[in-house]
Amino acid sequence: MDRRVFLHESARNLAAAGLIFGTPATFASATNSTTLARQQCETTAGGTKFAVATVHELATNAARDMFRVGGNAVDAAVAASFMLSVVDGHNSGIGGGCFALIRDPSGRFYAIDGREEAGAAATKDMFLKNGQPQPEWSQTGPLAPGVPGQVAALENMATRFGRLSWRSLLEPAIQTAQNGFVMGRLANVIRANAKDLGRFASSKRVLFPGDELPTATTRLHQPDLAQTLQLIANEGAAAFYHGPIAQAIAEYLGAEGGILTVNDFANYQVKQREPLVSHYRGRQVIGFPPPSSGGIHVAQMLGMLECFDLRALWRRDPILVYHLWLEVMQRAMADRAHWLGDADHARVPLGLLDPAYLLQRAGDIQLGRTSKVAGHGLPPGVESQFFGDKHTTHLTAADQEGWVVAITQTVNTSFGCKMIAPGTGIVLNNEMDDFSIAPGVANAFGLVGTEANAIAPGKRPLSSMSPTIVLDGAGRPVLTCGAAGGPRIITCTLQTICRVLDFDQSIQEALDSPRVHHQWRPSEAVVEERMDPASIAGLQTLGHEVRRIEASATAQGISWSADGRLEAAADSRAGGVAFVE
């Protein structure tokens, strides 16, 4: 077929050809012998007992070891998560936060919110000086962290759902912190951030062994972190929130000009959220609700895409699918900028998921050219527009009993605020930058926001982290995925779901394929360099302002075949490791 003809075919012709459908599906409102795939890109042979995928081999090994001594997927995920604090601290760790989405064997879902929280002394204009935004304050230094939620969330899920002892889950991480490990890629990240890290003596002490910049072969020992983890192993999360660890962090930040206090730590609570359930072509998609924006926007985009016969379009011309993805991304991300924030503090309209609203938002999408999206939509139920390769990581584990765990965890950008609390080894987050520090001012990811995501005491910053689990019509898991990459998490999750469900790709193929991204502002189509030049040219012909980047997001996932076999995949972009048995 001559693509040039097709690209200019009118929507009416496509409708006649059956490539555009009518309405999106309705949304349910929120309810209730072993193969180690050592190589990036290497697909795991299917297994039946368990599966895990993380961004680091030692974390995957820790999870595998928990399975082998009788733990379930929750035990495995918690052990992997603690290990990531040790071996992958620039991305996530106990000084940061997470969202965990869990399915139990009876088919119930739990959305555990361990997101960081603004301290009691936080103010809306704390990152303004003479009215001017100071993004460097929200990104680096003592004002940037929120109260970390990671340890509380891990304890919550381990004690409710795990089978092994809390101490045993921390043991591999403690050993690795104490005995050291070869840095590998981590050394590059430290070198890339050396200037900012070097501003803080305690960070230098930990990350520049022998006072020198590390190389890939340097061994990193973290005795302070080992001691901190041992304290948490012995005394539980209370040691972090009510004991010496909170004290050490608050004292350090206070002395440097920060505002978090021991009371902020003592008041921190994990929040149990209602998982967000939507439907896509007969499947149920379970996502994470606010303060994540991911669940809502993945559901919005899938809802808009349901107007189109994506499978047929893919066969006919993949450029059209990339184009459609970019179009729905723009619309969803414009809504994000305006409407989304922590729903405990801002009114996030449920109408954002109304099928008629999504149909209206998708109504001006054309297959023959890109459209300019002027701004957010006005979902039903809202009277006026106003209501009075960086960092993070996704890990996932599943087992034969039916447990499925998807955790996205982060300290935000590389090494968070770049400060390690002395004596603790803890890398402190800079999640305050995920708030909108002033209307229209872009954060580290170029994201803008408004009042809904303004800073307030005790409020959690809006996140893009999107742990997702997809079920078939009978309620059996078919896919779980999630990613790192700021707003690219949301768009990567969308593409992974479409590739597996609509194009029948394996989870590994889906993760390794080229990704596109659009976040409305800036108005540009971000395209990975691995995409073939003809497709990039095709998108430009359709009017997209293309910016090429090396990699967009880092994802991990597990899929289930019809006969229940598990396949796990780690993203080739970050050299993660998947394992099934």
Q: 492 CB contacts (<8 Å, ≥6 apart)?
A: 483, 485, 515, 517, 552, 553, 555
Judge whether 392 and 92 are in contact, CB under 8 Å. Answer: yes
**Of 90 and 544, which CB lies nearer to ligand DON in the complex structure?**
90
**Of 309 and 431, which CB lies nearer to ligand DON in the complex structure?**
431
**Of 172 and 416, which CB lies nearer to ligand DON in the complex structure?**
416
**Of 413 and 424, which CB lies nearer to ligand DON in the complex structure?**
413
Q: What is the dihedral of CA 301, 548, 510, 61, to 10 degrees?
A: -110
**Of 9 and 389, which CB lies nearer to ligand DON in the complex structure?**
389
Least gap, CB of 152 to ligand DON (angstroms): 17
Tokens representing residue 12 in the block: 């009416």
Question: How many residues comprise the chain?
Answer: 581
Give dist(CA 546, CA 149) in Å, integer. 37
Give dist(CA 187, CA 273) in Å, integer. 37
Task: Count the alpha carbons within 13 Å of 12 in the hemisphere toward its beta carbon.
Answer: 0
Residues of this chain that bind ligand DON (CB under 6 A):
389-392, 410, 412, 431, 434, 463-465, 484-486, 489
Least gap, CB of 51 to ligand DON (angstroms): 23
Q: Containing H/E element for 14?
A: helix 11-16
Catalytic positions: 392
**Of 370 and 463, which CB lies nearer to ligand DON in the complex structure?**
463
Least gap, CB of 45 to ligand DON (angstroms): 30
**Of 481 and 539, which CB lies nearer to ligand DON in the complex structure?**
481
Q: Containing H/E element for 452?
A: none
Amino acid at 164: L
**CA dist 30 to 27, 274, 277, 286, 546, Å?**
9, 6, 6, 9, 36
Question: Over the Cα atoms of the chain, what is R_g?
Answer: 23
- Please provide residue 280's backbone torsions phi and psi, each rounded to the nearest 5 degrees: -140, 115
Least gap, CB of 469 to ligand DON (angstroms): 19
Least gap, CB of 389 to ligand DON (angstroms): 6
Q: Containing H/E element for 2?
A: none
Tokens representing residue 332 in the block: 């969803």
Least gap, CB of 192 to ligand DON (angstroms): 13
Least gap, CB of 528 to ligand DON (angstroms): 14
Give dist(CA 481, CA 465) in Å, integer. 11
**Distance of alpha carbon 421 from the chain centroid:** 25
